[in-house]
Amino acid sequence: MTETRNRYFVCSSPETNIVQGFYSVPSSAPVTNPDFHEITQDDYEHYLTQPGAIWKDGSLLAYTPPAPPLAEQAQDALSRIQAQIPSLFVMGQQFGEKTKAYISALNAIIDGIDTTSAALPAQPEKLTD
């Protein structure tokens, strides 16, 4: 049996050059997509575990995507709290004052009332706080 070696590629967006996927293909397989760029096995193994990468000037570089808009972050945080509500009430517990203030602050960001905050407020440790 002969050993099959692989070649390694990234596929990047033609508009942004942001890497969309990493691929390991047999060396005998043709790769004709112009958005596929061959990389080394070391780069493949390293960047596969990173939060992002970009193909720029023939090189693979680390890329950290920008944070989502604050209102989107607030909605995500509120959704995580809402997912815990049934358990809280089954246990006969209620939101604490800190949590109520936190939810109010998130809603103000989501609704566009708070336009000055640059980051989410600190989340209370427990919903009963």
- What pLDDT score does 43 carry? 93
126, with CB counted inside 10 A (0-12, 13-18, 19+), is exposed
Q: Among 122, 3, 19, which Cα is nearest to 11's?
A: 19
Classified as helix, coil or strand, 47 is helix
| pLDDT, tens only, 7-19 | 999 999 989 999 9
Residue 11: strand pairing partners: 21, 36
Q: Are residues 39 and 81 in the same domain?
A: no
CA 31/CA 9 separation, integer angstroms: 9
- What pLDDT score does 4 carry? 63
Pairing of the two strands 6-12 and 19-26? antiparallel
Count of Cβ atoms closer than 10 Å to residue 54 Cβ: 19
Q: Are residues 71 and 128 in the same domain?
A: yes
Helix (H) or strand (E) holding 100: helix 97-110
| pLDDT, tens only, 17-53 | 999 999 999 988 898 988 899 999 999 999 988 888 9
Model confidence band, residue 3 (pLDDT cutoffs 50, 70, 90): low
Q: What is the reported pTM?
A: 0.59
Q: Are residues 98 and 124 in the same domain?
A: yes
| pLDDT, tens only, 62-112 | 998 888 999 999 999 999 999 998 988 898 999 999 999 999 999 999 999
Total domains, the chain? 2
- What pLDDT score does 49 carry? 87
Tokens representing 36 are: 């596929």
Domain that holds residue 41: 6-62
